[in-house]
Structure 1
Amino acid sequence: MAILAAATLGVTGCSLLTRPGTQKTITLAQAEQRANSYAQQISQALPGRPGLVPNAGGVIPTECGDPNDNGPQGRSSAGGGFFLEPLSQDRIPEVFTSFRGYLTKRGFKVLTDQSDFLVMTNPKDGFRVGLQEGGDATVKGLGLIVSSPCVWPNGTPPSK
């Protein structure tokens, strides 16, 4: 599932909860907690209730070195990936359908919709979640990716 690690970069989005760089945000610790909470809630809502196996450490903080929201430097995001296990390969289409339905009911909007990769965002808090199929011709699996928007580490922009 090397694809999962590369896809994590495509899911992470540095967009503030308010105007870029001028307002308070949630803290980085709160962003990590919310990202983990989203992952847990989603996995429990999927068919078969697969477990979460962290990929490269699970949810970890990352500096927003080149924010795509035109906001200032010094912010970070919390994001990471998980393998969904155990999961029968024949249930993968059902899991994609359930993933979309569960998040749509909670106000998430589709950002990317491909046959093997679905990314949705919560417009209320800027968090993004993705589901990606990976593997080879004989073994396929699913990865869940969660990321926060860029936030100030302590929730407050630095004083000028």
Structure 2
Amino acid sequence: MTEKQAHDRVEDYVRAAFESLPRTAARTLFSQNRSECTDPTDDGPAGRFEISVTYEITGLAVASFGAHFDAVVAWWRSHGFTVVADKRPGDQYVFARNAADSFDMSIQANELGKLYLGSTSPCVWPNGVPDAAAAEDETPAAVAEPVVEPPTPKPQPRPRRAAVDDEDFGDTSWSDGGTAY
């Protein structure tokens, strides 16, 4: 998957999950990020990126956020996502992951009455495959004799970051429009 395809998919997921909300809801792009995959639990090669988007959802009464969380979670479950973390009722935060493609989604509200819906891709290469230079660096220059090695088991998906909200999310003032993180 290329970066462009990952970006399209995070946008598609947010757009589709957003449709589970009432017609009074509106969404405004809050942040769009391209972050290098540097998580040590990933154990993958450098040069890959996570693509994410977050939208602020407006036009919904704060008193009904619980029902809107439930509607989004129901959409997730019917579209291959598994809830990984549900911090309600203490915190208004739910995090889910799609088992088929490892894309993440979250919905979160804060004490200022702001509601956010976002999606993040797994680590992807910008062009879908490692750069030729990186691939050459990993290839031995010459081998004297072919070495026959036993077959290796199929690689398992690498773990990704923990399902937690940003540490400073609740401490940040979102009334100034926020900044991309």
Work out which structure has the larger RCO, using CA pairs closer than 8 Å and 6 or more positions apart in sequence. Answer: 1
Contact 1:39 1:146 in 2 (8 A): yes
Distance 1:146 1:35, change over 3 A: same
Which structure 2 residues correspond to residues 7-156 of structure 1 after superposition, within 5 A? 26-48=1-23, 50-55=25-30, 58-66=31-39, 68-115=41-88, 116-136=92-112, 140-156=113-129
Structure number having the greater strand percentage: 1
Give the 3-state SS of the residue equivalent to 1:155 in structure 2.
coil
Match of residue 23 from structure 1: none
**% identical aligned pairs:** 28
Q: Distance in 1 between matches of 2:12 and 2:40?
A: 24
Structure number having the greater helix percentage: 1
What is the aligned-residue RMSD (CA, Å)? Answer: 1.5
Match of residue 19 from structure 1: none
Deviation of 1:82 after TM superposition, in Å, equals: 1.0
| Amino acid in structure 2 at the alignment position of 1:44 | E
When the two structures are aligned, how many residues end up with a matched partner?
Answer: 130
| Amino acid in structure 1 at the alignment position of 2:27 | L
| Amino acid in structure 2 at the alignment position of 1:30 | Q
What are the ranges of 5 or more consecutive residues in structure 2 without an aligned counterpart? 137-181
Please report the TM-score for the alignment, with normalisation by the length of structure 2.
0.67
